[in-house]
């Protein structure tokens, strides 16, 4: 029975293998005065006899995910059945969790699991808005496994289980008790309302664009804007696009666009195909600056693919190698950028700093290649819709705040007043 009244804390666990642990967490949460909703995401035929009865059984979750659980069990020996089961449980639990949240039935969620359980639980958590307490107790949260694939762009709190979640002992009881206390504490805190405070502006920052961003921020705030900064590391750029689509941002000042370069050429800060696209499709105005767009971000020099070995490179720090793009590669970037920006249904302005777009792209330094940069700009001008202006500004990208700010008002603020872009 799913509780009514006080918002419950959802528990996601595979009750075929995590019965005692789920029972322990359930008891700890309920002893704190919170009702629970237990989702069983197990895909094995059996259910742990020590597991409490689920409020949402595995069969129901599988159906919501587009599969018949009995069919999955019957075909468990087939190669793709496990992946089908994980996908069904992930998608089904996400739909159910979001439905419970939208109905006001749950106010927080906690998941318990190994690699499979973590995949399912965090997929479901990512269906909930930012601000809803989300905790994952996981065996793979040690740092040896990249956790970005699980957290995505959502505010998921991670707790390392230390030992495998395979029955209760003195250590697992301690870890799970702390996890239960943490999710209860988050659920009991008065939630902060994400109230709109003027025009909400997203800014992307990375290395040399940070000084410009820091200078622009108070200018925007002086005009009554609320500023959200995103570090362009692959994940944050995607997060900015998602928040724009969700209506959380009103304008985008994209000072650091190198994520698209890493996306095209296999860099470590690669975003996905939504970058420079999703917000525009939603109708969010955008100012674009090619910050870091002239390079690929890779790991140690010995890991650089052979195809890039002949290009200028800099060992930026012990773990990061920067590779300068060639003229041909810059043209490719311009083509992709133009294709995405052309689909925007809101004003777009591109500002090109003539003094360089990254730390090493300055007069006298290793990455200065005026021919490659000019080819980018020429291709961009040629491929963009005529109504998208490309404006050249003096100075290096790190100091563009004064010049860029002249273009910010017409792109972001004036557009909301029904005014036309300045010529």
Mean confidence (pLDDT) of the chain: 86
Does the fold of domain 200-416 match that of domain 8-188?
Answer: yes
| pLDDT bracket for residue 416 (50, 70, 90) | very low
| Sign of the Cα pseudo-torsion (124, 129, 130, 132, in order) | negative
Q: What mean pLDDT do residues 315-333 have?
A: 91
pLDDT reported for residue 420: 33
Measured between alpha carbons, how far is 163 from 120 in angstroms, rounded to an integer?
A: 20
* pLDDT score at 197: 62
Pairing verdict, β 320-324 and 295-298: antiparallel
pLDDT score recorded for residue 193: 60
Which 8-state DSSP code applies to residue 284? -
Query: What pLDDT, in 10s, does the model give residues 34-43?
Result: 999 999 998 8
**Lowest-confidence range among 7-16, 171-180, 323-332, 407-416?**
407-416
Which of 12-16, 129-133, 313-317, 326-330 is the least confident region?
A: 313-317
Decide if pLDDT at 217 tops 90: no
User: What CATH number has the domain spanning 8-188?
Assistant: 3.40.50.12020
Averaged pLDDT for residues 337-362: 91
Average pLDDT for 300-309: 87
> How many angstroms separate the CA atoms of 195 and 214, rounded?
23
pLDDT tens column, 66-88: 988 888 887 776 777 788 888 99
Query: Which CATH number among 3.40.630.30, 3.40.50.12030, 3.50.50.60, 2.170.150.20 corresponds to the domain 200-416?
Result: 3.40.50.12030
Position 403 scores a pLDDT of: 62
Q: Is the pLDDT of residue 418 over 60?
A: no
Distances (CA, A) of 417 to 47, 51, 250, 284: 59, 58, 13, 14
The pLDDT of residue 124: 96
- pLDDT value for 399: 79
pLDDT of 385-396, one tens digit each?
999 999 888 888
- pLDDT reported for residue 45: 66
Question: Quick check: 410 pLDDT over 60?
Answer: no
Residue pLDDT, tens place only, 364-385: 888 899 999 999 999 999 999 9
Domain positions in the chain: 8-188, 200-416
């Amino acid at each position: 029975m799913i509780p009514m009244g006080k918002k419950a804390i959802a528990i996601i666990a595979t009750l075929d293998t995590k019965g005692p642990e789920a029972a322990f967490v359930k008891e700890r949460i309920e002893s704190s005065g919170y009702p629970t909703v237990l989702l069983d995401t197990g895909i094995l035929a059996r259910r742990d006899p020590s597991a409490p009865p689920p409020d949402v059984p595995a069969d129901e979750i599988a159906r919501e995910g587009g599969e018949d659980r009995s069919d999955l069990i019957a075909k468990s020996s087939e190669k793709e059945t496990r992946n089908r089961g994980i996908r069904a449980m992930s998608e089904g639990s996400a739909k159910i969790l979001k439905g419970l949240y939208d109905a006001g039935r749950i106010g927080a969620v906690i998941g318990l699991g190994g690699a499979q359980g973590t995949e399912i639980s965090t997929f479901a958590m990512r269906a909930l808005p930012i601000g809803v307490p989300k905790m994952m107790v996981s065996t793979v949260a040690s740092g040896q496994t990249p956790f970005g694939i699980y957290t995505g762009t959502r505010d998921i709190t991670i707790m390392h289980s230390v030992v495998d979640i395979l029955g209760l002992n003195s250590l697992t009881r301690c870890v799970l008790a702390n996890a239960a206390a943490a999710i209860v504490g988050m659920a009991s805190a008065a939630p902060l309302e994400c109230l709109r405070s003027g025009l909400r502006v997203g800014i992307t920052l990375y290395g040399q664009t940070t000084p410009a961003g820091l200078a622009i921020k108070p200018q925007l705030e002086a005009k009554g804007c609320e500023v959200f900064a995103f570090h362009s590391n692959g994940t944050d750029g995607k997060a900015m696009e998602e928040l724009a689509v969700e209506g959380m941002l009103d304008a985008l000042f994209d000072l650091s666009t190198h994520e698209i370069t890493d996306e095209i050429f296999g860099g470590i800060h690669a975003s996905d195909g939504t970058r420079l696209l999703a917000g525009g499709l939603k109708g969010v105005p955008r100012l674009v600056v090619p910050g870091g767009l002239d390079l690929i971000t890779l790991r140690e020099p010995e890991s650089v693919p052979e195809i890039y070995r002949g290009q200028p490179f800099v060992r930026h720090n012990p773990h990061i190698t920067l590779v300068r793009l060639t003229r041909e590669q810059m043209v490719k970037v311009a083509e992709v950028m133009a294709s995405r920006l052309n689909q925007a249904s809101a004003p777009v302005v591109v500002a090109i700093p003539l003094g360089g777009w990254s730390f090493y792209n300055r007069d006298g330094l290793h990455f200065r290649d005026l021919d490659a940069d000019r080819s980018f700009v020429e291709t961009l001008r040629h491929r963009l819709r005529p109504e998208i202006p490309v404006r050249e500004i003096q100075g290096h990208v790190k100091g563009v705040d004064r010049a860029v700010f002249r273009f910010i008002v017409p792109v972001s603020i004036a557009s909301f007043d029904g005014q036309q872009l300045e010529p």
